[in-house]
A and B are shown apart, each in its own frame.
Chain A
Amino acid sequence: MPYRSSRWVMALACTTALVATAACGSSGGTGGTTADGKIELTVATFNEFGYEDLLPAYEAAHPNIKVVARKTGKADDHHQNLFTKIAAGSGLSDIEAVEEGYLPQVLSKADKFNNLLEIGPADVKPDRWLAWKSESATKNGSFIGYGTDIGPLAMCYRKDLFEAAGLPSDPEGVKAVFATWDSYFAAGDQFKAKSGDKAWFDSAAQVFNAMINQEKVGYYDASDKLVVDTNPDLKADWQQVTAAVAKGQSAKLVAFSNEWNTGFKNAAFATKTCPSWMLGVVEKQAGPENAGKWAVTEAFPDGGGNWGGSFLTVPKQSKHPKEAAELAAWLTAPEQQIKAFTAKGTFPSQVEALTSPALLDQTSAYFGGVKTGALFAAQAKKGPASGTIQDKVFNSALQAVEQGTSVDDAWKQAVEGAQKAAK
């Protein structure tokens, strides 16, 4: 008898335990206090922010604070986690990094984030950063993100392909080629005439993104109304790019795909829109056998632009928002950002950091010893007209054009797709 009842109890216990773990298996503490009474702050970032050495330094200077870093490999996964946990109402870190491409979605939920003007240190004002950078993280007077890095745009080009096609390839000479988008596409025609199977640029979407980035009004107007079918600038850019595709200027390689990587090795295209972080990508994909063949110039058609960069936000879920804002302000201070730049190459968005010798003296041996730091610092000050870049709907439509869909059908696909996505 005792044997039997103990078995009964055990089964009951097992089931209860099972229900309990299943029901409350995923409860994790956020931003609490540690056992020894320290305030615990979590910092969630993706890819490389270069904070590995900075966080211990902050802990050393602030004995009452313990910092826990949460790093995610891919930006996609990081932001999906961010949005899901905003929806869940719990689980976010005290500091959440947000990438520029996801900023519109974050701003549409701006009420879930702290206004850093209110809770941040009083001496940290939006003018610490480039004006356009701070503006892009502000909505209805609420400043929700301290800028970390940016991706100022320049142009990369293959010197050897330029020479073979009879185009000027020296730093001064190429300025005429890259003066405006008109001169850029005209040079593309000239290039195509001389070097048959090589293309002028890698893919239409990569060029279109840079063009739309320079327009005052992109996909949305100032009142957040979708204007894709009525914005004449957007249509003009679209027509210019698709016309170039029709003339064979595009290598039709989807950016960051394996085929695109191979395209760099095979010298499939002669120019590439190059944000500061793209230099590393070019160097890696083109490989050491192409060292010295690629060059980078600050001459960018019709001015400059920006592609990429992030912000540090403090969600309202944080239990220690003031301390978190203080840490975020410290991490995004010019001195710290320069250290992060030295460690991982994240290009600073702080006005003061752009004059730092550590930045200005940076050179790239792969790109022929050019002073890349000074070059991109100059581009950073030009900035974008609007923050709009990288629209999935338009990227797909441009790909469709490259694969043989008619320009009109693809335009219809883009407009309908954008309207559906905006619904």
Chain B
Amino acid sequence: MTADLTEVPSGRGVEPRPPVRRDAPADHPRPPWRDRLTRLDVKFTPYLFIAPFFVLFAVIGLFPLLYTGYVSMFDWELGGDEHPFVGLENYATLLADDQFWNAMFNTISIFVLSSVPQMITAVLLAALLNTALRARTAWRMGVLLPYVASLVALAIIFSNLFGKQYGLINTFLDAVGLSPVDWQGNWFASHVAIATMVNWRWTGYNALIVLAAMQAIPREVHEAALVDGAGAVRRFVSITLPLLRPTIIFVVITSTIGGLQIFTEPKLFDPAGGSGGGFSHQYQTVVLYLYQAGFQDFDLGYASAMAWILFLVVLVIAAANFFLTRRIASTGESE
């Protein structure tokens, strides 16, 4: 009991205690009750203070994650009376399911079409917002406006713009003598239309994050480069970009996670309002297919297996992005 005293953590805020010699006499008097309470307090209070996050995470994050894994091992029909165990059969079916691979292809295609232009535009936009603009704050707040707008309202407006027969964009194309595009039926055109919605909403948000990082770059570095005769472009490529690396990695990873889980935009883009992602699934994403399997066909086991595969794919692609972004951002000469 007494030896425990030495193991009291001396973290921040805890007053250092005099060391107790190990060879202290064994008949040392028991510490009074209050002292023991204090010890417990010091030991456990920090954990209690951080507990709310972990408890919440365990209940609404970790538990569903693990339970989804459990459900994916069963032939689990929503509302069914029994759920026979099928092992990895759901996964086997999934990997042989054309519709799943089609959904995976669509998801990655929409992800690439949205993330790549989005990142490039966001960095350039941030560079512009970082210059001595008139009414700077207004501009900076302005790029955030699309993010504030309701996603559902946005998707409905964009679906109207991209209407095939009466949409504004096709009317415009027609007016300038180009042939109208089938934004619904053509798979590539529909991916572009959905990616446009994503870009419109997220570019400004990402630009602001990059801008914040840009402003944290010390002026001295730029000044030194200026003295050395570096032009604006050279300074941007050799100083700004490499120093933005941690931020760009952060933005790329968050947009990877978000982009691979895209759901609302393709769901609302479907004029019939279903979860099929177009009449021949030409823009059905993985999460949309997951939703269809789970809540339209009531096949929760299959949907859960899909959720896990998607989780693994997100991990792999996020890791790949991490290394890729590190390489790209470290080609600057400052490294």
Contact = CB atoms under 8 A, between A and B. Distances in A.
Task: Report if A and B associate in a common complex.
Answer: yes
Given A8-B45, A23-B59, A83-B79, A1 B51 contact: no
Interface in B50-78: 51-52, 55-56, 59-60, 78
Contacts of A19: 55, 59
Interface centre among A8, A253, A260, A395 (most CB of B within 10 A): A8
Interface string B172-209: 00000000001011000000000000000000000000
A4 B41 contact: yes
A80 B59 CA distance: 24
B37 interface: yes
Contacts of B280: 396, 400, 405, 413
A384 to B, nearest CB: 22
A75 to B, nearest CB: 11
B271 A87 contact: no
A15 B52 contact: yes
B79 A7 contact: no
Given A1-B38, A22-B56, A254-B271, A403 B185 contact: yes
Nearest to B184: A403
A84 B294 CA distance: 11
By DSSP majority rule, is chain A's interface helix, strand, loop, or mixed? helix
B45 A11 contact: yes
A365 interface: no
B223 interface: no
A223 interface: no
B279 A258 contact: no
Contact size range, B: 35 or more
Interface stretch (B105-113, B131-139, B162-170): B162-170
A226 to B, nearest CB: 14
Given A18-B55, A403-B182, A404-B185, A395 B163 contact: no
A7 B13 CA distance: 15
Interface string A1-42: 100110110011011001100110000000000000000000
Contact of A399 (B52, B79, B279): B279
Nearest to A253: B165
A22 B38 contact: no
A393 B167 CA distance: 26
Given A4-B41, A22-B56, A15 B48 contact: yes
A179 interface: no
A253 B167 CA distance: 13
Given A7-B45, A83-B78, A18 B56 contact: yes
B225 to A, nearest CB: 51
A404 B282 CA distance: 14
Contact of B34 (A1, A8, A84): A1
Contacts of A112: 79
Nearest to B78: A87
B272 interface: yes
Contacts, number: 104
Nearest to B185: A403
Contact of A403 (B56, B163, B166, B279): B279
B81 to A, nearest CB: 8
Given A22-B59, A395-B272, A403-B182, A259 B166 contact: yes
Contact of A4 (B38, B60, B78, B274): B38
Contacts of A255: 272
Contacts of A413: 280
B271 A258 contact: yes
Interface in A365-421: 392, 395-397, 399-400, 403-405, 413, 421
Interface string A123-145: 00000000000000000000000
B321 interface: no
Contacts of B272: 254-257, 395-396, 399
Contact of B52 (A14, A23, A404): A14
Contacts of B271: 254, 256-260
Contacts of B37: 1, 5, 8
Contacts of A403: 182, 184-185, 279
A71 B55 CA distance: 34
A190 interface: no
A261 B185 CA distance: 19
A404 B186 CA distance: 10
A174 interface: no
Contacts of B85: none
Contacts of A109: 79
Interface of B: 34, 37-38, 40-41, 44-45, 48-49, 51-52, 55-56, 59-60, 78-80, 156, 159-160, 163-167, 182, 184-185, 271-274, 276, 279-280, 295, 297-298
27 contacts: A1-B37, A5-B37, A7-B41, A11-B51, A14-B48, A15-B52, A15-B55, A18-B52, A19-B59, A80-B295, A83-B78, A83-B298, A87-B78, A87-B80, A105-B298, A112-B79, A254-B271, A255-B272, A256-B271, A256-B272, A257-B271, A258-B166, A259-B163, A260-B271, A396-B280, A403-B184, A421-B297
Given A109-B79, A396-B274, 10 more contacts: A1-B37, A14-B52, A23-B59, A256-B272, A256-B273, A258-B163, A259-B167, A259-B271, A396-B272, A404-B185
